[in-house]
Chains A and B, each alone.
Chain A
Amino acid sequence: MAAYILKRLVAAIPVLFGLTIIVFLIMAMIPGDTATAILGSYATPENVEKLNRDLGLDKSLPQQYLIWLGNLLQGDLGRSYSLNRPVLDEVVERFSATMILAGTSLVLCSIFGLLAGVMSAVRQFGWTDKIVTFFVLIGISTPSFWLGLLLILAFAVKLRLFPASGMFAIYGGGDLPDLIHHLVLPALTLSVVATGVIARLTRTSMLEVLRQDYIRTARAKGLAERKVIAKHAFKAALVSVIPVIGIQAGFVMGGAVYIETVFQWPGIGSMLVTAISTRDLLLVQGGVLFVAAAYVLFNLAADIVQTMLDPRLR
């Protein structure tokens, strides 16, 4: 197992390396440069040239990349032009915020998705199934940023039960209850689509398993229905659901870009959006590197859990 994990981790290195090159090239290809973005209407050729020189952007592209790579190997991601602080500090802070949000959503969507899927499979074509399937369809089809705005209007503006934005209260607060209080609306919003996807898949997968002979055997030998579902059917169905949860982790992180903007959650998604519009190359690089690494790790984790559940895969 350890050798397998190590092999997968080593295989991830060229992926990340290739990614940094792609990001570097894309950022170089999109028109407009950092100095123009900073200077705005004052971007005379003279001012742009001077500022690029001050920022160290007058060097050739391969040169800039190699400098960046050299620094990266020493654990230095450079300094953000637009934020005037080390990229690593900013990215770590932002990334942790995203992890809290995305992690909570992932837990929520796994719990609700699996529960809903199992419930509707067990009562196939019954009322429970119909109601769950109906809500799952709505969940999958709802644009999450729109849902976020609606939730803000209802729960923050009208009912004033939850804050409209941010991660902590602006004065006081800063503790765990405060964080949970701020987390409820964005985490719910972010988990809605993924819940639907997982619920659908769980339902299909459960239905397939429930038709298997060994389930009939289990029932025939007089096992309580709850045990049949929980111990035999669910565990087997989980094998095909887990990798999808791993992929959903990536989607949840991608979806965080909108949700973070709507809820002003200080995460890495909203940071990347700003960094791209200000042409802050080093910040984009640092952010993408972290997100990509997380994506690789999520999928690895999903594969490992799957292997543990299904002996055939070992």
Chain B
Amino acid sequence: MIRLLAAVIASVWMTISFQAAAQTPPNVLVVGQIAEPKSLDPHAVTAVNDFRILVNIYDGLVRYKDGTLEVEPSLAESWDISEDGKTYTFKLRAGVTFHDGTPFNAEAVKFNFDRMLDESHPFHDTGPFPLSFFFSAVDEVTAVDESTVEFKLSEPYAPFLSNLAYPTGLIVSPEAVKQHGKDFGRNPVGTGAYKFEGWDPNAKVVVSRNEAYWDDAAPLEAVIFRPITDANTRIAEMLSGGLDIMVEVPPDSLQQFRGDDQFTVHEQAGPHVWFLILNTKEGPFANKAVRQAANYAINKTALVENILQGTAEVASSPTPPAFAWAYNETLEPYPYDPEKAKALLEEAGYNGEELTFYVTEGGSGMLDPVAMGTAIQADLQAVGMKVKIETYEWNTFLGKVNPGLEGKADMAEMAWMTNDPDTLPFLALRSEAFPDKGGFNSGYYANEKVDELLNKARQVTDQSERAKLYKQMQEIVYEDAPWVFVANWKQNAVTSSRVENFKLQPSFFLMLQDVAKP
């Protein structure tokens, strides 16, 4: 009996053991993703995890220039903006076809935007399209001729171009949408450097090189995206050779990869800002001196270095430095100065009232919110501010914070990742963006000058003009301190030493067009 069992085990072992040693083959790149993609229809998704695949299958009219957040031509070769900033005319690249062989032209562009924006469009029901409000300023899209398309906006809207560079602006094949309907998201067809091969649910998405790519075919033959939700498992796969690239490496493990020549660690600061919303309407934070005191009292360098272990940088203002053209470099982060904080509190007449602090357990871009919340509580305590933490699960947390903090809390954690320097301040710092008006200004910050600057920045289309307005806005917000500006997250990734030409982008998209793995 035992001999028989041994024989069975030995034979099973022989059959399987030669398959071991998980080395990935040359010219095929295996990417460790953090979750199963929801859909590969770029207009239907909201998660960065999905964007990482999409930007390799599709192109937009414009895209971010390598290493920046500035737009450059992609499927559109050039464009004109009318004097009043309300008409954008794009000249399209000729001779481009979708992976299914159908031509890319002005009609295709019109189809893409009409499907998202026009509720009576025959294929509007292939949605929903949660981020279509990025293009809510678009009144009408007209195919002027085969290679010219015109967008009429209802009002001047300067972030329009960078919204087109966002995945919501990627161009899908109209024929494929007509053919697959609601299942287009599982049968994606674009014009990008890689064409879709297959999706094995919960195991992998495979894309292969588009030999006819207009912008030079990619060196890789194929890319395989694997969803691995558990970070420890993702690390184990990376270490055992089952992955070539992994993204979102936990800070603890980054050190381990740094010390090993088989791996390369990549880091790139992105358009992300982690901050505390302060309730400027009521309670101690209605006083500017108390808000500034909180900015001085919190040791942001310690947060970034000890809790986040160097995976973020200290933030100085509501605009992250990744928006290089709009970022005000003259602003230095509030220094850690508990004495100054105490003096400001005394001057403001703060009498030790208890502050309620909303902390979340997790959530998109929130980094390590519980540990950070606790450290912030300790720093504030040290200057005499009594803080009571209330912790909520992410969805519940949003449900509490987004409707406004009035009557509930004095401060709340928050983080945003955006694609244009306009988005966050416009949605969260204007007096027109109070929660009851449909915005995210949950701390009720109001400054007429800021309102004016932000409204004006949307109207001017010249980038250097816009930059001036944003820089002024940052100075005022810095001084008013409606938030505690804490951190700008650095995105990270680890690649195996076989991977060449890999670069992280400030947009946080995973561009694999030039990556090689001989």
Chain A residues at the B interface, C-beta cutoff of 8 Å: 30-33, 35-47, 51, 54-55, 79, 82-85, 90, 93-94, 97, 149, 152-153, 156-157, 160-173, 177-178, 180-181, 261-264, 266, 270-271, 274, 277, 279
Q: A170-B224, A266-B203 known; A156 and B240 CB under 8 Å? A: yes
Structural contact, B398 and A165, CB atoms closer than 8 A: no
Within the complex, the shortest CB–CB distance from B254 to chain A, in Å, comes to 17
- Chain A residues near B133: list those with CB within 8 A: 42, 47
Structural contact, A93 and B201, CB atoms closer than 8 A: yes
Structural contact, B236 and A164, CB atoms closer than 8 A: yes
Q: A45-B438, A157-B239, A264-B229 known; A170 and B30 CB under 8 Å? A: yes
- Chain B residues near A181: list those with CB within 8 A: 16, 19-20
Structural contact, A83 and B38, CB atoms closer than 8 A: yes
- Chain B residues near A274: list those with CB within 8 A: 35-36, 229
- List 7 tightest A-B contacts by C-beta distance, closest first: A32-B395, A266-B202, A54-B128, A31-B396, A181-B16, A164-B236, A84-B39
Structural contact, A39 and B17, CB atoms closer than 8 A: no
> Is B416 among interface residues, defined by CB-CB distance under 8 A?
yes
- Chain A residues near B228: list those with CB within 8 A: 165, 264
Structural contact, A168 and B233, CB atoms closer than 8 A: no
Within the complex, the shortest CB–CB distance from A48 to chain B, in Å, comes to 9
* Cα separation A298 to B437 with both chains bound (whole Å): 54
Within the complex, the shortest CB–CB distance from A258 to chain B, in Å, comes to 10
Structural contact, B236 and A39, CB atoms closer than 8 A: no
Structural contact, B128 and A44, CB atoms closer than 8 A: no
> Is B230 among interface residues, defined by CB-CB distance under 8 A?
yes
Within the complex, the shortest CB–CB distance from A158 to chain B, in Å, comes to 9
Structural contact, A262 and B232, CB atoms closer than 8 A: yes
Q: A161-B20, A274-B229 known; A54 and B127 CB under 8 Å? A: yes
Q: A41-B416, A164-B237, A266-B203 known; A171 and B224 CB under 8 Å? A: yes
* Cα separation A45 to B438 with both chains bound (whole Å): 6
Besides A41-B414, A79-B182, A152-B236, 6 more A-B contacts (Cβ < 8 Å) are A36-B398, A41-B365, A44-B402, A45-B403, A84-B39, A97-B202
6 A-B contacts (beta carbon < 8 Å):
A32-B394, A40-B398, A42-B130, A84-B182, A93-B202, A152-B236
Structural contact, B201 and A31, CB atoms closer than 8 A: no
Structural contact, B236 and A157, CB atoms closer than 8 A: yes
- Chain B residues near A165: list those with CB within 8 A: 228, 233, 236-237, 242
Chain B residues at the A interface, C-beta cutoff of 8 Å: 12, 15-17, 19-22, 24-25, 28, 30, 35-36, 38-39, 41, 44, 46, 127-128, 130-131, 133, 182-183, 185-186, 201-204, 224, 226-230, 232-233, 236-237, 239-242, 363-365, 393-396, 398-399, 402-403, 414-417, 427, 435, 438-440
Structural contact, A43 and B398, CB atoms closer than 8 A: yes
Structural contact, A40 and B38, CB atoms closer than 8 A: no
Structural contact, A90 and B236, CB atoms closer than 8 A: no
- Chain B residues near A32: list those with CB within 8 A: 393-396, 398-399
Within the complex, the shortest CB–CB distance from A161 to chain B, in Å, comes to 6
Name the contact of B22 in the complex, choosing from A33, A163, A277, A279 (C-beta under 8 A): A163
* Cα separation A152 to B231 with both chains bound (whole Å): 13
- Chain B residues near A264: list those with CB within 8 A: 227-230, 233
Name the contact of A160 in the complex, choosing from B22, B232, B398 (C-beta under 8 A): B22
* Cα separation A174 to B316 with both chains bound (whole Å): 52
* Cα separation A156 to B182 with both chains bound (whole Å): 40
Structural contact, A84 and B44, CB atoms closer than 8 A: yes
Within the complex, the shortest CB–CB distance from B473 to chain A, in Å, comes to 20
Structural contact, A156 and B236, CB atoms closer than 8 A: yes
* Cα separation A177 to B230 with both chains bound (whole Å): 25
Within the complex, the shortest CB–CB distance from B507 to chain A, in Å, comes to 17
With most chain A CB atoms within 10 A of its CB, the pick from B39, B128, B427 is B128
Q: A36-B399, A163-B242, A167-B203 known; A177 and B19 CB under 8 Å? A: yes
* Cα separation A149 to B41 with both chains bound (whole Å): 35
- Chain A residues near B25: list those with CB within 8 A: 171
Q: A32-B396, A47-B133, A170-B226 known; A84 and B185 CB under 8 Å? A: yes
Name the contact of B395 in the complex, choosing from A44, A55, A162, A279 (C-beta under 8 A): A279
Structural contact, A168 and B203, CB atoms closer than 8 A: yes
Structural contact, B204 and A170, CB atoms closer than 8 A: yes
Looking across the interface, which residue of chain B has its beta carbon closest to that of A54?
B128
Q: A84-B39, A156-B240, A165-B236 known; A42 and B131 CB under 8 Å? A: yes
- Chain A residues near B440: list those with CB within 8 A: 41, 44
- Chain B residues near A54: list those with CB within 8 A: 127-128
Looking across the interface, which residue of chain A has its beta carbon closest to that of B13?
A161
* Cα separation A47 to B439 with both chains bound (whole Å): 10
- Chain B residues near A277: list those with CB within 8 A: 395
Name the contact of B20 in the complex, choosing from A84, A94, A162, A167 (C-beta under 8 A): A162
* Cα separation A20 to B364 with both chains bound (whole Å): 30
* Cα separation A35 to B224 with both chains bound (whole Å): 30
Looking across the interface, which residue of chain A has its beta carbon closest to that of B230?
A261
- Chain B residues near A172: list those with CB within 8 A: 19
- Chain B residues near A166: list those with CB within 8 A: 203, 226
* Cα separation A217 to B429 with both chains bound (whole Å): 89
Name the contact of B399 in the complex, choosing from A31, A41, A42, A161 (C-beta under 8 A): A31
* Cα separation A36 to B46 with both chains bound (whole Å): 11
* Cα separation A169 to B241 with both chains bound (whole Å): 13
With most chain A CB atoms within 10 A of its CB, the pick from B226, B240, B365 is B240
Q: A40-B364, A262-B233, A263-B233 known; A82 and B38 CB under 8 Å? A: yes
Structural contact, A157 and B240, CB atoms closer than 8 A: yes
Within the complex, the shortest CB–CB distance from A114 to chain B, in Å, comes to 15
- Chain A residues near B21: list those with CB within 8 A: 160
- Chain B residues near A79: list those with CB within 8 A: 182
- Chain A residues near B438: list those with CB within 8 A: 44-46
* Cα separation A171 to B27 with both chains bound (whole Å): 13
* Cα separation A97 to B200 with both chains bound (whole Å): 13
Q: A42-B130, A157-B236, A261-B230 known; A85 and B20 CB under 8 Å? A: no
Structural contact, B186 and A38, CB atoms closer than 8 A: no
Structural contact, B201 and A90, CB atoms closer than 8 A: yes
* Cα separation A155 to B257 with both chains bound (whole Å): 20
Within the complex, the shortest CB–CB distance from A176 to chain B, in Å, comes to 9
Name the contact of B186 in the complex, choosing from A36, A55, A84, A170 (C-beta under 8 A): A84
Name the contact of B46 in the complex, choosing from A42, A85, A97, A160 (C-beta under 8 A): A42
* Cα separation A30 to B397 with both chains bound (whole Å): 12
* Cα separation A149 to B229 with both chains bound (whole Å): 14
* Cα separation A167 to B417 with both chains bound (whole Å): 34
Structural contact, A164 and B242, CB atoms closer than 8 A: yes
* Cα separation A160 to B22 with both chains bound (whole Å): 7
* Cα separation A263 to B236 with both chains bound (whole Å): 10
Structural contact, B395 and A41, CB atoms closer than 8 A: no
- Chain A residues near B19: list those with CB within 8 A: 169, 172-173, 177-178, 181
Looking across the interface, which residue of chain A has its beta carbon closest to that of B131?
A42
* Cα separation A51 to B131 with both chains bound (whole Å): 10
- Chain B residues near A162: list those with CB within 8 A: 20
- Chain A residues near B365: list those with CB within 8 A: 41
* Cα separation A274 to B438 with both chains bound (whole Å): 29
* Cα separation A260 to B171 with both chains bound (whole Å): 36
- Chain A residues near B39: list those with CB within 8 A: 83-84
* Cα separation A54 to B133 with both chains bound (whole Å): 14
Looking across the interface, which residue of chain B has its beta carbon closest to that of A149?
B232
* Cα separation A94 to B203 with both chains bound (whole Å): 11
